[in-house]
Amino acid sequence: MDQLLPSCLQSKGINLHSSYNRREGGAGPAEGITIVVNGRPISVPTTGTTIASSPYSLHNVDGNHVIFNNGSPIKEVTLPPSPRYYSLKTARGVEYRKIALLHGSRCLASTVLQQCTYWHSPERCTFCGIELSLQSHATSTQKTPEELAEVAKAASQLDGISHVTLTTGTQADASFELEYLAACSALIKAETNLPIHVQCMPPRHVRSLELLKESGVDTIGIHIECFDQKILKKAAPCKARIDLKHYITVWSECIRLFGFNQVSSFLIAGLGEKNRATIDGASLLCELGVYPFIVPLRPIPGTLLERHAPPDTDHIIPLYQEVASLLKAAGLSWKNSKAGCVRCGACSGLPDFEHG
């Protein structure tokens, strides 16, 4: 049961007692709460149209955090403490938490450019909430390398963060996007020496990825999101336009630059795709040395998929089991990833099946 609990929580979500805070909007685990179950941080949805029907709820019982299932206590858990760096501001008065957030329990994450060229177009990804946190003033449009390095240094010293994730909205000028990620990475690395993960669209010219390597990036995510082409066209039209052969070229170049197990691709479960397509795609990724990071759909309020439900456990658990076998056969593991979403693992149940 313990092995399945994180997946069940991510499929159903959890109702919070009124004493808990919520965060809404964003590009990553945008709304929700991080709960530590058996020492592993799990990001669990707390808002959305399906949460009210979830049997799970979180209560504070005599100072302890306890998960209830249909009104009965089933598991005592912990919550990561609010990071100390959240109380700080830059010299210009920008709150540190508007520059980068704690994800999981040890990962500092920032969307360095919070706008996407596809946001106001029909090609916008249906699951993405990148500009929602701008609308709610929870973050700023652009984080400077100096701000990011300052926050990373403080978060490392005050809160023991051990790796950094930098993502970005897709920019009309792809060279600018990569150069900006590189500039941010170089300064963070110079100031903290922390392992850094970046995420970006597959660049047209693979040689441009060398810039990221030279700037100190350790791991990279090039996310295809879905291997079912019909579903991808509906869910992420801007990604479906890119030929699979080009993704493979980019993943291969990333493996050459960053190494085996240091490259990943998100595969979202619950978009309407067949599990077979995801498993075949995951198999292809494993052959290349790329980690297929299976994540359940997170229907963030305000996104085009806000009324969808996350995948049921009957759908996602067999997927985790099959992909975990592929990972094992290929010698890939979240434990060997140096930084980023795979290293953190909080948005997926897959790590629970890798060694089960």
Interface residue list for ligand SF4 (CB under 6 A): 116, 118-119, 124-125, 128, 130, 169-170, 236, 238
**Closer residue to ligand SF4 in complex, CB, 200/288:** 200
Nearest to 290 by CA among 251, 325, 339: 251
Shortest Cβ 50–ligand SF4 spacing (Å) = 22
Pairing type for strands 101-103 and 219-221 reads unpaired
**Closer residue to ligand SF4 in complex, CB, 126/275:** 126
How many angstroms separate the most distant Cα atoms in the chain?
57
The tokens describing 76, both together, are 């005592």
Three-class DSSP category at 87 = helix
Tell me the residue length of the chain.
Answer: 356
Shortest Cβ 168–ligand SF4 spacing (Å) = 7
Q: DSSP for 285-334?
A: HHHHT-EEEEEE----TTSTTTTSPPPPHHHHHHHHHHHHHHHHHHT--G
**Closer residue to ligand SF4 in complex, CB, 159/225:** 225
Shortest Cβ 236–ligand SF4 spacing (Å) = 6
**Closer residue to ligand SF4 in complex, CB, 133/313:** 133
Helix (H) and strand (E) counts in the chain:
12, 13
**Closer residue to ligand SF4 in complex, CB, 242/326:** 242
Shortest Cβ 26–ligand SF4 spacing (Å) = 11
**Closer residue to ligand SF4 in complex, CB, 119/260:** 119
Q: Which residues pair with 196 in a beta bridge?
A: 164
Shortest Cβ 130–ligand SF4 spacing (Å) = 4
Shortest Cβ 128–ligand SF4 spacing (Å) = 3
Three-class DSSP category at 112 = coil
CB of 202 within 8 A of CB of 242? yes
**Closer residue to ligand SF4 in complex, CB, 44/236:** 236
CB of 127 within 8 A of CB of 271? yes
Shortest Cβ 271–ligand SF4 spacing (Å) = 13
